[in-house]
Structure 1
Amino acid sequence: MNEEVRIIIEPIQDPEKIKKVGEYYRINSENSMNYFRYWNEHTLFHWDFWLSWGIAIVPWIIWAYCHKQQSRGRLLLAGFLAVIISSWLDFYGVNIGLWYYTGLAIPTIPSYVPWDFSLIPVLTMFMIQIKPQSSVWGKAFLFAFTSAFLGEPLFLWLGFYRLLHWNLFFSVPIYFILFIICHKISRIKFGDQL
């Protein structure tokens, strides 16, 4: 009665390709598990863990009390876009070996969550709402300079961020463009209500 029902579906993909890709994923999974064990012993509940979570949470609490409430939807849309762009680029940079992080808040995500999901979007939203009539180019430069030459060196000093094949100057145009895109999104006029 308890016969196992197995459905066998033969893929149209090349079996050798499936086998080779599966081997890469096995190696990646093994490395992830090794890192998780290391993180569990050397990061979880240590000072860098608590600082990382503080950096992830405190900016959002400050933003919740200080943002311009009439613009909340548009600011959050810009912040969400900042999260998507920064986390994707950060994830990509880590995976191709440009840099890496220690003291991760979440060991299964190679990018630094407090930076990508908190500091970058909250700073972006604050800079968009402060002096909204001032030059977007000046704000973008200030955002890029602050992020690349104050934020990143601070994380290098803390030992959370290690550069391998990257220079802080490379970050400036990326932050600049990120801010310009988020600012433009924050200015979108929404249509009729649903």
Structure 2
Amino acid sequence: MATKEEIIEIIDKNHNQIELLIDKKIQIWTEYVLFSGLWWMGVGLSIIPWIIWFVIRKRDSTDRLLYTAFYIMAIAVISDILGDQLGLWHYRYHVIPVLPTYFPWDVTLMPLTIITLIQTKPNVNPWIKAVFFALVASYCAEPFFDWLGVYEPVHWRYSYSVPLQIILYMSAHALSKRNQFSRIEQ
């Protein structure tokens, strides 16, 4: 059995190796990715859809939809970090080099697509919207970013994403319908 000091030494050594790799990743990003066409595309995909949504959103639903969007962002970022760290996929052409996720997808495209679907034709069965979203995200968006060279599914198939996307959409839909918030009293 290792002592506490030996465990600390092993963990610190591993951490130092990770820091060196991150430094190398930032160096590669600065030299080859920053200001490249795919980097600019990522920046645009991170900002422009939010501007468009801000114009077309239902004004009286803004808070509810943003609440739902932040939930989607959190799940997307956590899922992407797990997938990347487990070696299921990885991204190139990061907008922000130290994030192992594709920022435009997790923080803009996925949440905005879902909340736009939620606010559009609200009487349509949410399961239909969930399946539509999952199929488009899994069989159009993922292959497109793979084709561009931004996304590399290593041990992942597009079909694996379909049920996860359906669950994400349905949970976001349920969350968007919540209205049991009490007022915060001073």
Normalising by the residue count of structure 1, what TM-score does the alignment of the two structures yield? 0.91
Q: CA deviation at 1:192?
A: 4.1
User: What is the identity percentage for the equivalent residue pairs of Structure 1 and Structure 2?
Assistant: 34
Larger gyration radius, structure 1 or structure 2: 1
* Residue 23 (1) aligns with residue 17 (2): no
Secondary structure of 2:160 counterpart: helix
Runs of 5+ consecutive residues of structure 1 not aligned to the other structure: 1-12
Q: Which ranges in structure 2 are unaligned for 5 or more consecutive residues?
A: none
Q: Which of 41, 62, 69 does residue 31 from structure 2 map onto?
A: 41
Tell me whether 1:65 sits opposite 2:55 in the alignment.
yes
Mapping of residues 1-194 of structure 1, within 5 Å: 14-194=4-184
- Name the aligned partner's letter for residue 141 of structure 1: V
CA distance in 1, matches of 2:11, 2:86: 17
Q: State the SS of the aligned residue for 2:35.
A: coil
| Counterpart Cα distance in 1 of 2:7 and 2:60 | 53
The alignment of Structure 1 onto Structure 2 pairs a total of residues equal to 182
Report how far residue 190 of structure 1 moved.
Answer: 3.3
Which structure shows the bigger proportion of residues in helix conformation?
Answer: 2
Distance in 1 (CA, whole Å) between partners of 2:133 and 2:32 is: 33
Which amino acid is the alignment partner of residue 22 of structure 2? Answer: S
**Aligned mates of 1:14, 1:182 — CA distance in 2:** 43
The Cα RMSD (Å) is 1.1
